[in-house]
Amino acid sequence: MSFKQLKALTFDVVGTLIDFEAGILAHVREVAGDAATACSDDDILKAYREARSASDSGWWPDDLERCYHLIAAKLGLPDNEEYAKGLSLAVKNFPAFPDSVEALKRLRKHFKLVATTNSRIWALDHMAKTLDEPFDVKVSVDDVRFEKPDPQFFAYTRGVLATQGILFEDILHVAQSQYHDIGVAVRLGYQVCWIERRHAQKGSGGTLESERTEPHYHFTSLAQLADAVEKELG
């Protein structure tokens, strides 16, 4: 497989480019104060993961308000509407992974960069600013009305790119989540790159758990993908 045949990289954003786990942990620990000291990061992220897996979960990050109430109840943390709403709004300040901005600039020299995210467009706009506006195309849950791993999300994105002359075989899908992206993208026949952000950590953190699907490319950082592209393409 060669990078030479590619024209576009479609990116999951939350968890691949933006460190949502760090953002959630920072907010919960800030508002919960001393009450959160007995909770490990894994405790908080597990409570978040369980909240997001509920059948009544809504679109992200609006759903973080509901999640905070469940996290607080599970872990015995202080709870009120301000703290809960604040977790949703905190997305504006969720950090990028340390390598995201530079690696995206390097990759953009060779490909169109496409955001494909289950987040609302208002949140994607803030995250794009955090990433120094790297995207040529943005596709959000507001556009598709379905969340990954629903194949309709991928079909909608292919349709958008087809209007720009980018065909299915021209695309590499880049993501962190085995559940939301890697498994379904491989089943749909995409060329797929797994950025295993939690490679040095146990468990799945804030990402819903899933069986592991082998991708075509596997790196532990976005910088490694950029390195591999530059090695082949210059």
Could you tell me if 115 and 176 lie in one domain? Answer: yes
Q: Same structural domain for residues 72 and 143?
A: no
Question: What's the average model confidence in pLDDT over 172-183?
Answer: 98
Q: What percent of the chain has pLDDT over 90?
A: 97
Concatenated DSSP letters of 42-62: HHHHHHHHHHHTSTT--SBTT
Residue 101 and residue 75 share a domain: no
Q: What is the pLDDT of residues 56-95, one digit of tens each?
A: 899 999 999 999 999 999 999 999 999 999 999 999 999 9
83, 167: one domain: no
Model confidence at 55, pLDDT cuts 50, 70, 90, reads confident
The residue whose two tokens read 């000291």 is: 37
9 and 32 within one domain: no
Domain extent for 100? 3-19+95-233
Same domain, 86 and 111: no
- CATH of residue 8's domain is 3.40.50.1000
Residue 1 confidence (pLDDT) above 80: no
Same domain (yes/no): 34, 61: yes
Q: What tokens does 210 get? A: 């899933």
Q: What does the alpha-carbon distance between residue 47 and residue 145 come to, in Å, rounded to a whole number?
A: 26
Q: Which of 93, 109, 127 is the last residue of a domain?
A: 93
Is residue 12 part of the annotated active site? The answer reads: yes
| 100, pLDDT greater than 80 | yes
For range 170-176, the mean pLDDT: 98
Q: pLDDT at position 75, please?
A: 98
How many domains does one find in the chain?
A: 2
Euclidean distance between CA atoms 89 and 78, whole angstroms: 18
